[in-house]
């Protein structure tokens, strides 16, 4: 619970009366921007596991690939919103730190006063689907609007459990709407993409096996919009941090 004291200047109204050459008018009080970054973080829906994720606590341990990925993500966040791309797409194997880095970028962007919202892709789909049901709660109904209109959206783990036309249409409309309105989108995915340099085959005991790609999951249109609006960074690293960390003990 917040125990914030009421601002002495504006009495908590957010407005102060100023007199200029005997004309008085109302101005926004400076207290409105105090604590804004903290309030934005509280509303961002970043899951507890990632709430403290930052560039400072991302360990590169001398691995050149991780160093250069981190510095590319960091420069995206530092340049925001003036960089060449409004969005960021992180591609890589599970456990390589994509969500950690995406949240670190989102938090840095929120520090600048932008509103950021974290949402897991599958959860978003489930909530949008539930929102169609008239008995569903209003937060599910708002999920779609939030995905379209929040200032900066972090769409984590692109790629659905079951790919259907509805899934592809939904992701296409979210990405297209955001792209058309130049609303930044930060996305992560484990799905390979040949244009980002991923191999779309994996070795198995019975020979090479095709891996389903980003295009297979989200469809051609959403994929091409993503590439158009995002700085695409592939993490060319296959060690799962959770396993790597475990090995040291």
Ligand X SMILES: Nc1ncnc2c1ncn2[C@@H]1O[C@H](COP(=O)(O)OP(=O)(O)O)[C@@H](O)[C@H]1O
List residues near ligand X by CB under 6 A: 49, 53, 57-59, 66, 92, 94-100, 188, 241-242
Regarding 7 and contact with Zn ion (CB under 5 A), the answer is yes
Q: Is 63 in the site for Zn ion (CB under 5 A)?
A: no
Among 99, 150, 198, 213, interactor with Mg ion by CB under 5 A: 99
The partner in contact with residue 59, picked from ligand X, Zn ion, Mg ion, none with C-beta cut-offs of 5 to 8 angstroms by kind, is ligand X
Task: Compute the distance between CA of residue 183 and CA of residue 191 in angstroms, rounded to an integer.
Answer: 23
| Residues 15-44: x where in contact with Zn ion by CB under 5 A, - otherwise, as a string | --------------x-x-------------
Smallest distance from ligand X to CB 46, Å:
12
In angstroms, give the least distance from the CB of 106 to Mg ion: 13
At closest approach, how far in Å is the CB of 160 from ligand X?
A: 16
Residues 6+ apart with CB under 8 A from 131: 140, 141, 142, 143, 144
Closer of 100 and 215 to ligand X (Cβ): 100
Q: Which does 28 bind (CB under 5 to 8 A by kind): Zn ion, ligand X, Mg ion, none?
A: none
Q: Give the nearest distance from C-beta 21 to Zn ion in angstroms.
A: 24
Q: Which of 9, 28, 59, 245 binds Zn ion (CB under 5 A)?
A: 9
Tell me the two tokens of residue 22. 């005997």
Question: Token match 């309030």: residue?
Answer: 39
The option from Mg ion, ligand X, Zn ion, none interacting with 7 (CB < 5 to 8 A, set by class) reads Zn ion
Q: What angle do CA 115, 120, 125 make, to 5 degrees?
A: 110
Interface with Mg ion in residues 119-178 (CB under 5 A) = none
CA distance 177 to 193: 23
Report the C-alpha gap between 40 and 116 in whole angstroms: 7
Interaction partner, residue 9 (ligand X, Zn ion, Mg ion, none; CB < 5-8 Å by kind) = Zn ion
How many residues bind Mg ion, per CB under 5 A? 2
Residues interacting with Zn ion, by CB under 5 A?
7, 9-10, 29, 31
């Amino acid at each position: 619970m917040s125990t914030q004291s009421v601002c002495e200047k504006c009495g908590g109204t957010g407005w102060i009366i100023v007199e200029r050459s005997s004309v008085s008018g109302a101005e926004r009080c400076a207290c409105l921007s105090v604590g804004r970054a903290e309030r934005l973080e509280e509303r961002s829906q970043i899951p507890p596991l990632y709430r403290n994720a930052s560039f400072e606590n991302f360990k590169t341990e001398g691995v050149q690939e991780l160093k250069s990925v981190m510095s590319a993500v960091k420069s995206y966040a530092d340049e925001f919103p003036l960089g060449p791309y409004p969005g960021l797409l992180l591609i890589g194997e599970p456990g390589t730190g994509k969500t950690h880095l995406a949240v670190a970028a989102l938090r840095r962007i929120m520090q600048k006063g932008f509103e950021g919202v974290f949402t897991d892709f599958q959860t978003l789909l489930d909530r949008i689907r539930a929102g169609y049901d008239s008995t569903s709660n209003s937060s599910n109904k708002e999920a779609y609007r939030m995905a379209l209109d929040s200032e900066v959206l972090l769409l984590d783990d692109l790629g659905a459990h079951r790919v259907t036309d509805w899934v592809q249409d939904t992701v296409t409309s979210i990405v297209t709407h955001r792209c058309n309105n130049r609303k930044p989108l930060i996305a992560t995915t484990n799905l390979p993409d040949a244009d980002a340099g991923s191999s779309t085959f994996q070795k198995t005991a019975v020979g090479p096996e095709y891996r389903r790609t980003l295009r297979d999951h989200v469809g051609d249109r959403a994929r091409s919009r993503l590439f158009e609006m995002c700085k695409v960074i592939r993490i060319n690293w296959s060690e799962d941090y959770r396993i790597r960390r475990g090995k040291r003990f």
